[in-house]
Structure 1
Amino acid sequence: MSAPHDTDRETLGALVHDLSEQTSALVRSEVELAKAELTAKGKAAGVGAGMFGAAGILGLFGLGVLIATAILALALVLPAWGAALIVAVVLFAAAGIAAVVGKGKVSQATPPAPERAVEGVKQDVETIKGGHSR
């Protein structure tokens, strides 16, 4: 049996070198794939956000048409100005109620400082001071 030649078999160093290059190439290709995937997802999210915006605008237009329909329906039994006035008063009342409820919710959330945590820290400081004065 003849001994294998160095040209027939790669050395361990060459194999490690090849492994290192292939690993680097694999990592680079995975990073590129991740970038491409994130780009595609970002574009899809942008389109989705745009569609939500369009839905909001169309919903606002629909609400306006619904309000106009209520005015026209009331105008069948009242003068047009009376129907519009009644609908306006109802809308302003709903806005006022929403404002009062919203103000109450905001006042519950203010001040934005974490009051319970601050109180706990104050108690901890007092406990530490009391422990050192003895």
Structure 2
Amino acid sequence: MTSARENTNGSGLPPVPSIPLTAESPATIAGETSIGGLVRDATAHLSTLVRAEVELAKSEVAGEIKKGVKGSVYFIVALTVLLFSSFFFFFFGAELLDVWLPRWAAFLIVFGLMLVVAGGFAFLGVRKVRKLRAPQRTIDSARDAVAAIRHRGESR
């Protein structure tokens, strides 16, 4: 069994250990293996399955958390510009515009520019956060595992 942290298959997600599933009938398996061997094999396969599901969930959630952190950086930048921007720089800009415009219009323009910059960074943050998705491979794999366990003893 390989560890999910050792190798990747190029998709960005680690490979998951697999359980050999065969199309043998229950009668053939029972004739070749003792009950103790069957229980041991079933326990080993179940353990491998649970470990694989946990590793898959960890890797997918970690990837989504990284995307979320990257998206939240834009929100932090937007708040920094909005709350901790250089007061004196913007005040200077308003005073400079006051030379050509009425004082109230100069300060209104500077305030509007500050809001546009903050809105731009907030928009970039929303775009990054919207790319977050549920760990679909884990959900599909868990559904398949439950279906396989439910129909394990049934003949086809």
* Greater Rg over alpha carbons, structure: 1
**Higher relative contact order, structure no. (Cα contacts within 8 Å, ≥ 6 residues apart):** 2
**Where is the helix percentage greater, Structure 1 or Structure 2?**
1
Give the TM-score taking structure 1 as reference length.
Answer: 0.42
